[in-house]
Amino acid sequence: MKPHVSGITLGVKDVNRAKQFYNKGLGWPIQQDYQGQWVSFSLNNGSSTLGLRPWDVVAGDAGLAPDGSGFRGITFSYDVRSKDRVDAVLAEAKRAGGTIAKPAQDAAWGGYFGYFTDPDGYLWKVGWAPATTEQPSAAE
Amino acid sequence: MKPHVSGITLGVKDVNRAKQFYNKGLGWPIQQDYQGQWVSFSLNNGSSTLGLRPWDVVAGDAGLAPDGSGFRGITFSYDVRSKDRVDAVLAEAKRAGGTIAKPAQDAAWGGYFGYFTDPDGYLWKVGWAPATTEQPSAAE
């Protein structure tokens, strides 16, 4: 198995609401939109995708009960090349309907970061670090 | 904000156990290993990373309580170009210490897929579909 993620699927309460956030709010072009049951976005120049699907359907696809609560253990990072961009991206996410879970702040290790959540509570960490400019994974 | 994920961070119970699974078990080369508190792997030819960090630390970084249980709402996909490879990848994940959450099976829509979980319960869907060979996101 290669170190590769073809896609990330998020179980959401309301596919249309989540679609509006990522598409209209953050400006991500829609790749597929299947009758409110599946909406996807191309990620990282086509090497991966982000998919939105009803929460219960995601659980059912894996044969699991849909019950779940609290912290989910996972976060996504969105690394940028300046502190100003951290502020700008968090502001954009808020305008799009996201929630600022942690305002941007200096970190003890020298970086600068904050968190927002999408309408379903998935966490995005927007961060800058002195080394970010050299990281191929930096978003911008 | 661009449609980009710089990194996926998984909160895990035991960083070393999770490291063994992805590194020794699945054969993914380690990118960074910081004293058992952070282990990362380069994903998708360097455009993203997978990071392993103690569950409580991930929650704390976002300023959230670490309590959580049940279904987490999220799955990763690993798309391959043949049904045989679905079987082979699931077998590899099982040998590596993963758990087969759903054995591979034909889907009503014409595809073939199964699920495994890593030692912390994160779900990976290993799948083939007639269209997979044309998807740039296919892992192999």
Query: What pLDDT score does B133 carry?
Result: 77
**Among the ranges given (A112-116, B68-72, B129-133), the one the predictor scored with the smallest mean pLDDT:** B129-133
Taking CB atoms and an 8 Å limit, are B7 and A59 in contact across chains? no
- The sheet that has A123-128: what strands, in order across it? A99-106, A112-117, A123-128, A74-79, B7-12, B48-54, B38-43, B30-34
B35 to chain A, any CB pair closer than 8 A? The answer is no
A10 to chain B, any CB pair closer than 8 A? The answer is yes
Tell whether the model's pLDDT for residue B93 goes beyond 90: yes
What ipTM score was computed for the predicted complex, to two decimals?
0.94
How many pairs of residues across A and B have Cβ atoms under 8 Å apart? 230
Across B111-117, average pLDDT:
97
Distance CA B106, CA B63 (A): 42
Tell whether the model's pLDDT for residue B5 goes beyond 90: yes
CA gyration radius for chain A? Answer: 16
DSSP B115: E
Across A109-129, average pLDDT:
96
The tokens for A112 are 């600068």
Q: Are residues B50 and B82 in the same domain?
A: no
The closest CB to that of B71, out of A26, A41, A66, belongs to A66
Q: Are residues B128 and B79 in the same domain?
A: yes
Q: Select from B123, B108, B58, B113 the least CA-distant residue to B89.
A: B113
Query: What pLDDT score does A131 carry?
Result: 84
A112 to chain B, any CB pair closer than 8 A? The answer is no
Q: Judge whether B89 lies within some domain.
A: yes
- Return the SS3 of B8: strand
The closest CB to that of B47, out of A44, A67, A73, belongs to A44
Distance CA B69, CA B12 (A): 13
Residue B47 pLDDT level (bands cut at 50, 70, 90): very high
**Residue A32's CATH number:** 3.10.180.10
Q: Into how many domains does chain A fold?
A: 2
Task: Quote the domain boundaries for residue B31.
Answer: 7-61
User: What's the predicted TM-score (pTM) here?
Assistant: 0.94
A133 to chain B, any CB pair closer than 8 A? The answer is no
Residue A106 pLDDT level (bands cut at 50, 70, 90): very high
Query: What pLDDT score does A53 carry?
Result: 97
